[in-house]
Each structure stands twice: as structure tokens, then as C-alpha cells.
Amino acid sequence: MTQENGFPKDFLWGGATAANQYEGGYLSGGKGLSTLDAVAGGAYKVPRKVTFKRQDGSLGEVTREESLPDGAVGYIDKDRYYPSHVATDFYHHYKEDIALFAEMGFKCFRLSFSWSRICPKGTDEVNEEGLAFYEAVIDELLSYGIEPIITINHFDIPMYLADHYDGWSSRKVIDYYVFLCETIFTRFKDKVTYWMTFNEINFLRSWTQIGIHSVEPQSKFQALHHIFVASAKAVQLGHAINPNFKIGMMVAYIPAYPMSCRPEDVYEGIKRNRQQEFVMDVQCRGYYPSYQLKAFEQEGIHIAKEADDDAILAAGTVDYIGFSYYMSTVASSDPNAERSEGNQVLAYKNPYLPISDWGWAIDPLGLRISLCQLYDRYQKPLFVVENGFGAIDEVVDGNIHDDYRIAYFKAHIAEMKKAITEDGVDLIGYTPWGCIDLVSSGTGEMKKRYGFIYVDMDDQGKGSLNRLRKDSFYWYRDVIQSNGSEL
Ligand code: BG6
């Protein structure tokens, strides 16, 4: 849908959050434990640790990139601090927070459901109190005319499924996920239209995200296959329950530019981009792309499939592509080229771009480039469901003058607008990440803040949890009010 003058009039302006980083109430209202409840805080370049108990009763810890010993189960050490337990306490503040979102004029709000709040073990036992909590949140949003956008699963899995089934390595977990979907689709069929099946499944962190103990590619890709099947089944089921549902996928999109026009660098760029295109190809086209089948072959990876898996994938393609965009990266064929820091580990530094305090390259045009690449490739509606600037904010006499954040958003929104008006991209909405301060997923810190709303909480879990409007709050309110014509 090309717009000559700017954003479509029904454009979904809003903000985004995730249960494990925002909700808190980790044991309240009958919620079961999630894997992320056993992940301690970290800092920039200090990895967060998963705490666990071995079968012999001894305790241990590993980073999220390492494997857990066979048979180890998640363990919560009462002397450690785990950021998900309280987070910024949406659980007890949802009315206040939604009123603030409404004051900014949000048209939509993206939140995730915590699987273990709805099904404490992740199995087919439902916790009515958990469902009732989400229903109260949805009703509150609807009372202000704010459209709920639901991520069904964001970065975690009920700990019981990780401990007893080795998470997504088991096909049984497909059934449990589909049961979860049936429960929420049925309950909210007249209240929710937009869903996303999994957040950023191209990241695949073993135990914390998908509940598996091993970090071997064979195990991860087998688990991912089960996730693809579960997602495709959810899409079909959702459409059967309500044909008006819009069910999307969600990918972390970090476009890789070739370091130079040397053909070797260009080819490295293609290879790097395939890592994220692969998950989109499967979910948008309904089959594994040939380059990925070849990569499996070359790496000796064998994906075990059941007879009707391919038909399920083909029948369960998504309605739209949700993606996060924070930065671009660089691909190079020269292993001695300068490496980048922060979230771009294993990639290379772009000498043309500034970086944030956490080493993330700031590249507004990269958002337009991403929109063009995704729309040209798939011709599906796009939804920028995460974008934002993690920064340290200072409170001065109750005010937060976050002009750096406003500058970041201004530049990114201007590029989105050009993608719509000049490139003809069909973009349906924009939900900046952490529209209210929440815990950083990467580092577990509070001081890496994204919000338009400040929350008084520190890296040790101390603070009043009071909410304050930042300067960006008023700025974003005016952007929404003018439908993006005043930036
Ligand atoms: C995305 C995730 O990768 O980036 C969010 O979907 C995450 O959960 C966001 O919080 C920003 O990353 P970080 O590490 O700064 O919190």
C-alpha cells in the first residue's frame, strides 16, 4: 500500500515489551517457573549466568551460550539476584502503565504472554488466574482503544519442559505449544487480532530460549524444526478459530553490508544474511530453502521429520513479518579486519557508523534498507516490532532530558516514512522496544534503558518502581498525534 504523503492513516503506532523483562510477579498468581527465572544479571561484556543443579545435587552455572550438563535442572539460588523476578513489575502496575501509553496516544501495544503463567508446567494444565491476568490487561488496553499485539512466546520456555523434555528437542513440546495457542486463541478470539508465534527464533539460545541442554548445531536445528512445525500448526489453528486473525513471524533483522565491493566480501554478506533469511524463508514460503539444505548437508546435520511435516510447513505460512531492527553489521572475507563490539560479535566494524555505549552501530538508513530487502523478497506486510536506543538516563529534578533518544527515533522514523512513500513498502506499524524501561535481555541490566517512561529500579533490583515521563514521552506523543508528519 503506497502512501504519497506519509504513514497510512490506520498505522499502528505503539510500543513493545516482553513478559520476562517487564512483567515480574514471577511466582504470583499461580505462575510456574520459566527458564529465564534462573538467569542472573550481568553487565556489558559480563555474560549473564544460568544457575542449575546437577543430578548429584551439586550446583553449577554456565553462560547462555554454553551447554548444561545432561540431566541438570534449573535452580534458583536465594542469595542471587535474578532480574526477571520483579523486572519493572507490570504485573502490579499494568493499569498505571496502560494509562501512560494511552496518554502518548498508542494505537497498539505489543506484549508477550508468559507460557508458564498460563500453563505453569507448559503442559496441558491451565492456570485460570494467569489467563485472567492477561484478560484484564487486554480489557484495559481495549478500554482505551489500544490494539493488543501478542507475542505468544518471547525467549523462554517453562522450566518444567526444559527439565523433563529437554525443551524443543521433544516433539511432545509441539503439542503443548499448540495447546497453549488453542487456549489463548479461543479465549481471546474476539479481543486480539495480531499475534506473533515466536520472538527472534534466529537467535536460538539453547537452554534459556528453547530449553535444550546441548549447544550442538544438530540439536539446535532439530529443535528449530519442531518450532517451525509448531508455528505453522498455530497459524492454521488460529485461522480456523478466527479467519480475521493476523498471525506473523518475528525475526531479529541485522542486515550485513559487504566490507567492500570485492566479490569475496559480497559473497560473505550473502552468507551472513542467509542466517536470518533462512527462518523467514521457511515461515513465509513454507519450505526449507535450498541453500540451507546444502548447509545442513555440508555440516553433517540431519533433520528428522515426520511424514506430514512438509505439508504442515507449506500450509502454515504467516500473514506478516514482524522484525526487530537495531543495527546493521558488516561481512568481510578478511579475518584480520577490525571486529565490532557489543551485539555484533563475530562481525566487523563499520567505519562509517557511530556506536551506542553498548557497541551497537547506529544506522537509520539501515532500517530503510531492511524494509526494502524484506518487502522486495516476500511482498508480505511488514511490522517493525522493535527498534530503539539503549542508553543511560539521568534524572535531574524529576526530569529526564533524553534528546539522544529523540534524535535516534527521529532519524529512524524518517527512514521508515521514505520506505513507505518512495519505495512502496507495505508497513503496518511501529512498536519501539521497551517503550517503558525494562530489564535488558542481553546484559540483565536496568541501566541500559529504552523507554519513553522511566522506571526507578537499578541493576541490583532496588528502587521505588515509580514511573516518570521522559522528554521523549512528549515528543513521541506529538509524533503519533501528527501521524508521523511532525518529527
Ligand atoms: C531484542 C529482543 O533482541 O532486543 C528483546 O527481542 C531485547 O528481548 C532487545 O530486549 C534489546 O536487547 P537488549 O539486550 O538491549 O535488551
What is the grid cell recorded at 16? Answer: 513493545
Atom of ligand 1 nearest to the CA of 390: 15
Query: Nearest residue CA, atom 7 of ligand 1?
Result: 441
Question: Is the confidence at residue 438, as pLDDT, over 70?
Answer: yes
Cβ(430)–Cβ(12) below 8 Å = yes
Cβ(36)–Cβ(20) below 8 Å = yes
Question: Is the confidence at residue 437, as pLDDT, over 50?
Answer: yes
Question: Is the confidence at residue 343, as pLDDT, over 70?
Answer: no
Question: What is the distance of C-alpha 439 from the center of its chain?
Answer: 13
Dihedral of alpha carbons 298, 304, 307, 311, sign:
negative
What is the three-class DSSP state of 16? Answer: strand
Could you tell me if the CB of 277 is within 6 A of ligand 1? no
Query: Nearest residue CA, atom 5 of ligand 1?
Result: 441
Burial 109-119 (b: 16+ CB within 10 A, else e): bbbbbbbbbbb
The predicted model gives 106-129 an average pLDDT of 98
Report pLDDT for 1. 46
* Confidence band of 3 (pLDDT split at 50, 70, 90): very low
Task: Using the structure block, give the residue that is written with the C-alpha cell 494505537.
Answer: 107
Could you tell me if the CB of 448 is within 6 A of ligand 1? yes
| Mutation choice for ligand 1 from 204, 345, 386, 435, CB with most ligand atoms inside 8 A | 386
Q: Which domains does the chain have, with CATH numbers?
A: 3-481 (3.20.20.80)
Cβ(72)–Cβ(5) below 8 Å = no
What distance in angstroms lies between residue 167's CA and the mean position of ligand 1's atoms? 22
Could you tell me if the CB of 390 is within 6 A of ligand 1? yes
> Is residue 386 flagged as an active site residue?
yes
Report pLDDT for 5. 73
d(CA 417, CA 405): 18
Give which of 150, 149, 167, 171 is closest to 158, Cα–Cα. Answer: 167
Reported as a single tens digit per residue, the pLDDT across 281-312 is: 999 999 999 999 999 999 999 999 999 999 99
Phi, psi of 126 (to 5 degrees): -100, 140
What distance in angstroms lies between residue 442's CA and the mean position of ligand 1's atoms? 6
Question: Is the confidence at residue 51, as pLDDT, over 80?
Answer: yes
Could you tell me if the CB of 20 is within 6 A of ligand 1? no
The predicted model gives 166-173 an average pLDDT of 98
Tell me which H or E stretch contains 454. Answer: strand 453-455
Could you tell me if the CB of 156 is within 6 A of ligand 1? no
Cβ(401)–Cβ(471) below 8 Å = yes
Percent of the chain's residues with pLDDT above 70 = 98
Percent of the chain's residues with pLDDT above 90 = 95
d(CA 464, CA 138): 26
Task: Using the structure block, give the residue that is written with the C-alpha cell 511501529.
Answer: 430
Could you tell me if the CB of 116 is within 6 A of ligand 1? no
Active-site entry in 147, 200, 386, 445: 386
Report pLDDT for 338. 87
Cβ(259)–Cβ(337) below 8 Å = yes
Could you tell me if the CB of 199 is within 6 A of ligand 1? yes
* Confidence band of 2 (pLDDT split at 50, 70, 90): very low
